[in-house]
Chain A
Amino acid sequence: MKAILFALAASAAFLASPALAHFQLVYTPEVNLEKPGDLPLKMIFWHPMENGHAMDMGEPEEFFVVFKGERQDLAPTLEPITFHGAENEAKAFEATVPVKRNGDYIFALVPAPYYEQSEDIYIQQLTKSFVNKGGIPTGWNEPVGLPTEIVPLNKPTNIVAGSTFSGVLLSDGKPVPGGEIEIEYMAAEPDIDADRPGDPTASPMPGGALVAVTDADGEFTFGVPKAGFWGFAALGSGPVTEHEGKELSQDAVIWVRAYDLN
């Protein structure tokens, strides 16, 4: 047993692949829509920056969209899929949501707590993603009322690569000072027809996770260096700290889209 563990540790060290963070995805490739249509969404629990290990998702507790302050339940539209990760296959979910009217669509997912054996804790990442149709802003900067969430202070559907993204971390609706935010780049955007990662456009740098800490007002800022999707995860920011007798890390995740200014 000890020998096996040692071998595992040695191989991990030998690969020199920093173990980065789990990130829940709510992914659709095009977040700025011009025409009405059916929006494909993929819910994948993954290590996106290293195009790494994917985790099995349980049946999500909630999935909804907020449009102009109106919340619509989308949980019945969820369908199980298999995500064929670069390292392994994992249970994931998909949904197809018709989008017609102009404005901001805020998608929110409350996944089932995931048991992380290595740490003997549960992880639950409450995740938001944003889509805009027609260029009309209708509330991307409003919270949707999750137990913990990151509310954007820059429009999340068109961050300029090279500029900054700021957000405020809330727990039970109140700002969280000193909250730890992990940051990841979606290095291999999923191919939504094949349910597998695309070609990686980045790989992890030395030094492990990218981290920001919220200030006294619960705000953080990160300079966004590259076009694509960036995820921000506040670790353990949620009010629920226990699940089935074990520690629960209830995290807030947000995804934003950056573009090059050409």
Chain B
Amino acid sequence: MRIGAFIAAAIGFSVTPALAHTPLFSCYDNGDGTVLCEGGFSDGSSASNVPIKVKNGDGETVAEGKMDENSEFEFDKPDGTYSVLFDGGEGHQIEVPGDEIVE
């Protein structure tokens, strides 16, 4: 499972062209203590209702929710190391490490 997420993350971050129904997920530090993530699929389909988990450095979930109707999710930036998991189901998971989330 963790390996699958890792592979998906690697795919998400390589410059491999996204093909049909590849999940896409990007997060931005808003600079005001909050983080905005947006997702979607390469065929243009919506990612609304896709579950999102924010994890701390120990892998514990510190916040969770679902992508809204605009395929967006906003949360308060945790202290320390964190990552965000876009959980689109088997083969559609992307984990973004917090240190790659910049303003």
A45 to B102, CA, bound (A): 37
A158 to B15, CA, bound (A): 14
Main secondary structure of the interface of B (DSSP, over half): loop
A136 to B22, CA, bound (A): 10
Q: Decide if B18 touches A135 in the complex (CB within 8 Å).
A: yes
- The answer to the question of B59 belonging to the interface, with a C-beta cut-off of 8 Å to chain A, is no
Cβ-closest chain B residue relative to A68: B70
Cβ-closest chain A residue relative to B103: A36
Q: Decide if A134 touches B24 in the complex (CB within 8 Å).
A: yes
Query: Can you offer 21 A-B residue contacts whose CB atoms are under 8 A?
Result: A34-B15, A36-B102, A100-B28, A101-B26, A101-B38, A102-B24, A102-B26, A102-B40, A134-B26, A134-B40, A135-B17, A135-B22, A135-B42, A136-B40, A136-B41, A136-B42, A136-B44, A137-B42, A137-B43, A137-B44, A158-B17
Most A-side CB within 10 Å, residue of B26, B42, B102? B26
Residues of A within 8 A of B (CB): 34, 36, 100-102, 134-138, 158
In the assembled complex, which residues on chain B have CB atoms less than 8 Å from the CB atom of A101?
Answer: 26, 38
In the assembled complex, which residues on chain B have CB atoms less than 8 Å from the CB atom of A138?
Answer: 44
In the assembled complex, which residues on chain A have CB atoms less than 8 Å from the CB atom of B43?
Answer: 137
A101 to B26, CA, bound (A): 8
Q: Decide if B24 touches A136 in the complex (CB within 8 Å).
A: yes
Shortest Cβ distance from B40 into chain A, in angstroms? 4
In the assembled complex, which residues on chain B have CB atoms less than 8 Å from the CB atom of A137?
Answer: 42-44
